[in-house]
């Protein structure tokens, strides 16, 4: 199975515990960059009732909520966890604090949503996943791009077999971006592309090794440009290019299959997805021998191009809906803790590869 097992029992403190109006009480922890987006979407959701916004800077939390909000702002995380009306906690704090904040919520019997990456290390993420499973609680990773209409459609096309066997995936995420102080471009941008790759690949296809190259041409003390090459267990290849130094912004993903190839251009709202019935076919005469394989015939297929229609919906709204459904239905979320672990596995292996100038580093066996 792709996702790990989950116990049916629910904690007395949290459980699925919907409120009297059928909504789930939720608290957001972290009022910085991402927290306000979560606040807005939880407040707009019919499945949740936002009860708390917690931040070390209580004034900042009050500013996010505004002067007329009935949501309580606090810097006292213990008070949030002690509230029996809170069934779920959304963590939007720096990655280095994810384990501490999320683990406290799980131990208080709360379902937990964690901003990407799941944790600062694979070991921390595995500890968090194990605690949530032991207590029968939902642990979900906020891999937001997986909930965009475009990525949802890509997943459908891949899983239905419409593209055929996957031959390659190529992803580019570059811009003139903020050079982070504590992480390199790999850990900053690649989690998006790696979570998308994990989300769209069929059940029997997975990365088995990674090689990474990076450069720091401006002397920032960390890689500002990086290229990742992933070997898949089928012999296919996936490539990710992330870059803080590009003067132009590019957000494209190409998924090449035996039957069709699609291109996702996230910066083109008029035509985000394009599917091409074009490619290369390998034909061979019947009764071919080993010595004749070099004479196989290559033919080029040039068919139609189709731009599938997409329903517009904010990705975070869909993510919040999935969090609620996973809790109430007692099932793993589409981007559960194990999905977060698979991304961390690749990131850590890629970092090791960078240290050894692009050496191929194997990934953990049995990832799905």
pLDDT at residue 55, rounded to an integer: 96
Query: Do 93 and 80 fall within a single domain?
Result: yes
Residues of the chain predicted below pLDDT 50: 1-17, 20
Answer whether 177's CB lies under 8 Å from 255's CB. Answer: no
Order across the sheet with 273-283: list the strands. Answer: 297-306, 273-283, 261-265, 245-257, 166-176, 237-243, 225-232, 207-215, 361-362
Domain endpoint, select from 142, 168, 202:
142
Report d(CA 276, CA 305) in Å as an integer.
5
pLDDT at residue 345, rounded to an integer: 97
Which of 102, 165, 159 has its CA nearest to residue 135?
102
Query: Do 202 and 114 fall within a single domain?
Result: no
Query: Do 183 and 74 fall within a single domain?
Result: no
Phi, psi of 109 (to 5 degrees): 85, 25
Domain endpoint, select from 95, 112, 142:
142
Report d(CA 126, CA 122) in Å as an integer.
6
Report d(CA 346, CA 242) in Å as an integer.
15
Query: Do 136 and 193 fall within a single domain?
Result: no
pLDDT at residue 14, rounded to an integer: 42
339 within domain boundaries: no
Query: Do 130 and 199 fall within a single domain?
Result: no
Query: Do 150 and 138 fall within a single domain?
Result: no
70 within domain boundaries: yes
Query: Do 211 and 295 fall within a single domain?
Result: yes
Domain endpoint, select from 142, 168, 197:
142
- CATH number of 239's domain: 3.30.360.10
- CATH number of 50's domain: 3.40.50.720
pLDDT at residue 20, rounded to an integer: 47
Query: Do 127 and 247 fall within a single domain?
Result: no
66: its two tokens: 């505004």
Query: Do 172 and 36 fall within a single domain?
Result: no
pLDDT at residue 7, rounded to an integer: 39
Query: Do 78 and 184 fall within a single domain?
Result: no
Helix, strand, coil tally for the chain in percent (to 5):
35, 30, 40
Report how many domains make up the chain. Answer: 2
15 within domain boundaries: no
Task: Supply the range of the domain harboring residue 198.
Answer: 146-313+346-362
Query: Do 206 and 273 fall within a single domain?
Result: yes
Report d(CA 80, CA 327) in Å as an integer.
19
Query: Do 160 and 275 fall within a single domain?
Result: yes
319 within domain boundaries: no
337 within domain boundaries: no
The DSSP element (H or E) to which 349 belongs, if any, is helix 337-355
Per-residue pLDDT of 184-193, as tens digits, reads 999 999 999 9
Report d(CA 122, CA 116) in Å as an integer.
13
């Amino acid at each position: 199975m792709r996702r790990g097992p989950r116990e049916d029992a629910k904690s007395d403190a949290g459980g699925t515990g919907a409120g009297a109006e059928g909504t789930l009480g939720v608290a957001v922890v972290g009022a910085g960059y991402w927290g306000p987006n979560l606040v807005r979407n939880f407040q707009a959701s019919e499945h949740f009732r936002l009860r708390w916004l917690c931040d070390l800077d209580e004034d900042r939390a009050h500013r996010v909520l505004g002067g007329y909000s009935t949501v309580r702002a606090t810097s006292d995380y213990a008070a949030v966890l002690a509230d029996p009306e809170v069934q779920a906690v959304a963590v939007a704090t720096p990655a280095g604090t994810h384990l501490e904040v999320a683990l406290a919520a799980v131990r208080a019997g709360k379902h937990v949503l964690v901003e990407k990456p799941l944790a600062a290390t694979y070991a921390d993420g595995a500890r968090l996943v194990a605690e949530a499973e032991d207590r029968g609680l939902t642990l979900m990773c906020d891999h937001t791009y997986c909930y965009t209409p475009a990525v949802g459609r890509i997943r459908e096309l891949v899983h239905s077999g419409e593209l055929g066997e996957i031959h390659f995936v190529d992803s580019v995420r570059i811009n003139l971006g903020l050079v982070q102080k504590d992480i390199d471009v790999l850990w900053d941008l690649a989690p998006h592309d790696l979570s998308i790759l994990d989300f769209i690949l069929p059940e029997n296809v997975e990365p088995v090794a990674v090689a990474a190259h990076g450069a720091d041409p401006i002397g920032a003390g960390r890689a500002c440009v990086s290229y990742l090459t992933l070997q898949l267990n089928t012999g296919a290849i996936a490539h990710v290019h992330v870059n803080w130094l590009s003067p132009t912004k590019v957000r494209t993903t190409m998924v090449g299959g035996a039957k069709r190839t699609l291109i996702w251009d996230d910066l083109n709202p008029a035509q985000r997805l394009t599917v091409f019935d074009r490619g290369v076919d390998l034909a061979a005469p019947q009764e071919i021998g080993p010595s004749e394989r070099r004479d196989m015939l290559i033919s080029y297929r040039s068919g139609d191009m189709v731009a599938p229609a997409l329903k517009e919906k904010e990705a975070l709204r869909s993510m919040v809906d999935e969090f609620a459904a996973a809790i109430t239905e007692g099932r793993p979320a589409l981007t559960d803790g194990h999905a977060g672990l698979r991304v961390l596995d690749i990131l850590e292996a890629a970092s090791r590869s960078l240290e050894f100038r692009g050496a191929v580093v194997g990934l953990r066996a049995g990832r799905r």
